[in-house]
């Protein structure tokens, strides 16, 4: 018994210096309270009560209190007030580490290394993330004076929106039915994606009343000119019989900041070579504000018509071509995703990516495990769209089958893992020049992102379906 008491006393004696190193002593003076003492040392009242249980009653004059040197409150405040030193990104609604890494062409691992304050992959709306070294945010990509002038000229034609409390690019894009990417392109003046109340942003695809009236007047004048030209038989229309190859220009695209020839050609379903043939001035590069002709073939049996006149409309993406003597109809083609559908596609990719690493489970539709169609079924439920429950049914009954060259984010991609029959499905996350990336649940690795360049999937590709309107 004596030995155990001696041991306890020795332990207490040795622990006192350690405890003293972590605390400081404070003698209570007249008029002080636990609240005022906590405020003085920038600690919480709970921390004082934890070390001094007697302080919960009335404080006695000259009472000695132990105050923690390292406060949990200070540590939490430091974590909350993390301010990146270099390039940074402000988290918007629906964003994840995956979408942010993809946006800046970096990896999730590098993002985590640059942000040691992150306890998990769950991001808070408005949170600032440091970007890895060498990665620049959009505000650091300085535009030339010429580009700045063209953007300013473009902004003068667009509708203005005054930012309200709590609004972000995501909220504004959804309100006006445009994509976040398009919204940011016409608002390069917004630094670090940070919007403040009463800031003014410009809405792509909209025009103020004066511009609309001016454009309408110009369109009507051009229409009258063409009609008069037809009456005088002076329109530039060439009709050739038999097997003659002629193209009819039926669209105009205005180049936005940071757009590429590859991106524009993909958007309209044409090749870069065709785009350059129609617009030889862009062979050496694009300029912001340039108006480009977009090709659409016009057919009527063996007769093809070339019309040199292009009419302007309210939307630069929907430009009508004047027809020749015969009433001809354009061949039906799948249009690019609308702004709303593109925004839905980004949202679906984000939701599906939250399940990366989840194991494969036959018949599974939750984070306990997914099969391939189960992952698609659950993902599209987020936008209230119910897909069939099997990959073969999805291929046959969901959306419309499209050509591989017209693939876009959010489309379903199918593979024949059972001979000629569809047995596997994924959702397209990225379309490159000669490669398509897709997210799916594989039997061997669970939910992952794969590529059509992988030999296994290259041999088994069957079709692509457009399910987003």
Q: Per residue in 57-105, pLDDT tens?
A: 778 888 999 998 877 655 555 555 667 777 888 887 778 888 888 888 8
Does 255 map to a domain? yes
Question: Between helices 339-353 and 169-176, what is the axis angle to 10°?
Answer: 140
Statement to judge: residues 60 and 37 lie in one domain: yes
Statement to judge: residues 357 and 412 lie in one domain: yes
Does 434 map to a domain? yes
| Tally of domains in the chain | 5
Which CATH number belongs to the domain containing residue 322 in this structure? 3.10.350.10
Statement to judge: residues 349 and 460 lie in one domain: yes
Q: Any catalytic annotation for residue 253?
A: no
Does 338 map to a domain? no
Does 413 map to a domain? yes
Q: Which helix (H) or strand (E) element contains residue 211?
A: helix 209-231
Residue scoring higher pLDDT (225 or 241): 225
Among 330, 352, 374, where does a domain finish?
Answer: 330
Q: Which of 446, 424, 428 is nearest to 438 (CA)?
A: 428
Question: Which one of the listed residues 89, 161, 253, 440 is annotated catalytic?
Answer: 440
Statement to judge: residues 104 and 125 lie in one domain: yes
Other Cβ atoms closer than 10 A to 92: 20
CA distances from 312 to 211, 216, 361 (A): 13, 9, 54
Q: Any catalytic annotation for residue 26?
A: no
What per-residue confidence (pLDDT) applies to 243? Answer: 32
Greatest mean pLDDT among 194-203, 251-260, 359-368 lies in 359-368
Statement to judge: residues 352 and 454 lie in one domain: yes
Does 216 map to a domain? no
Cα 344 to its chain centre, rounded Å, is 10
Greatest mean pLDDT among 109-118, 234-243, 274-283, 447-456 lies in 447-456
Task: Give the pLDDT band of residue 9 (cuts 50, 70, 90).
Answer: low
Statement to judge: residues 64 and 172 lie in one domain: no
Statement to judge: residues 461 and 369 lie in one domain: yes
Among 330, 353, 369, where does a domain finish?
Answer: 330
Cα 129 to its chain centre, rounded Å, is 16
Full residue range of the structural domain in which residue 46 is found: 20-76
Among 153, 186, 203, where does a domain finish?
Answer: 203
Q: Per residue in 160-217, pLDDT tens?
A: 888 888 788 888 888 888 888 788 888 888 876 778 888 888 988 766 444 555 555 5
Which CATH number belongs to the domain containing residue 353 in this structure? 3.90.1720.10
Statement to judge: residues 355 and 391 lie in one domain: yes
Statement to judge: residues 157 and 49 lie in one domain: no
Statement to judge: residues 236 and 194 lie in one domain: no
What per-residue confidence (pLDDT) applies to 118? Answer: 81
Statement to judge: residues 320 and 235 lie in one domain: yes
Does 56 map to a domain? yes
Statement to judge: residues 174 and 270 lie in one domain: no
Quick check: 257 pLDDT over 80? no
Does 264 map to a domain? yes
Residue scoring higher pLDDT (164 or 418): 164
Q: Per residue in 264-309, pLDDT tens?
A: 877 777 888 788 888 888 877 788 778 888 854 333 333 333 223 2
Residue scoring higher pLDDT (305 or 366): 366
The two tokens of residue 89 are 């990104």
Does 396 map to a domain? yes
């Amino acid at each position: 018994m004596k030995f155990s008491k001696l041991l306890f006393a020795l332990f207490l004696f040795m622990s006192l210096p350690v405890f003293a190193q972590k605390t400081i002593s404070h003698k209570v003076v007249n008029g002080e309270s636990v609240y005022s003492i906590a405020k003085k040392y920038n600690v919480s009242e709970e921390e004082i009560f934890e070390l001094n249980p007697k302080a919960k009653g009335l404080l006695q004059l000259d009472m000695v209190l132990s105050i923690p040197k390292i406060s949990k409150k200070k540590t939490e405040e430091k974590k909350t007030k993390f301010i990146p030193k270099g390039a940074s990104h402000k988290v918007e609604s629906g964003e994840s580490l995956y979408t942010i890494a993809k946006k800046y062409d970096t990896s999730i691992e590098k993002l985590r290394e640059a942000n040691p304050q992150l306890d998990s992959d769950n991001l808070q709306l408005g949170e600032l993330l440091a970007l890895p070294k060498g990665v620049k945010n959009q505000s650091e990509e300085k535009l030339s004076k010429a580009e700045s002038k063209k953007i300013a000229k473009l902004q003068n034609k667009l509708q203005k929106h005054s930012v309200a409390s709590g609004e972000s690019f995501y909220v504004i894009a959804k309100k006006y039915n445009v994509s976040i990417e398009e919204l940011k392109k016409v608002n390069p003046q917004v630094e670090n994606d940070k919007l403040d109340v009463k800031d003014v942003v410009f809405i792509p695809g909209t025009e103020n009343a004066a511009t609309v009236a001016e454009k309408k007047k110009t369109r009507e004048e051009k229409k009258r000119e063409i009609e008069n030209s037809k009456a005088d038989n002076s329109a530039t229309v060439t009709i050739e019989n038999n097997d003659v190859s002629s193209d009819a220009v039926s669209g105009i695209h205005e180049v936005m900041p940071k757009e590429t020839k590859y991106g524009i050609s993909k958007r309209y379903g044409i090749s870069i070579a065709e785009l350059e043939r129609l617009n030889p001035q862009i062979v050496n590069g694009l300029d912001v504000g340039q108006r480009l002709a977009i090709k659409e073939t016009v057919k009527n049996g063996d007769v093809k018509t070339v019309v040199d006149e292009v009419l302007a409309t309210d939307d630069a993406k929907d430009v009508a071509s004047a027809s020749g003597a015969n009433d001809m109809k354009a061949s039906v083609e799948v249009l690019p995703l609308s702004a709303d559908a593109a925004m839905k596609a980004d949202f679906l990719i984000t939701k599906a990516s939250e399940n990366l690493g989840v194991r494969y489970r036959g018949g599974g539709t939750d984070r306990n495990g997914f099969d391939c169609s189960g992952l698609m079924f659950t993902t599209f439920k987020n936008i209230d769209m119910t897909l069939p429950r099997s990959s073969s049914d999805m291929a046959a009954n969901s959306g419309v089958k499209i050509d591989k060259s017209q693939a876009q984010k959010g489309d379903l991609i199918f593979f024949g893992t059972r001979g000629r029959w569809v047995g596997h499905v994924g959702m397209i996350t990225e379309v490159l020049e000669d490669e398509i990336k897709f997210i799916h649940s594989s039997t061997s690795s669970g939910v992952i992102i794969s590529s059509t360049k992988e030999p296994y999937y290259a041999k088994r590709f069957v079709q692509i379906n457009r399910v987003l309107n």
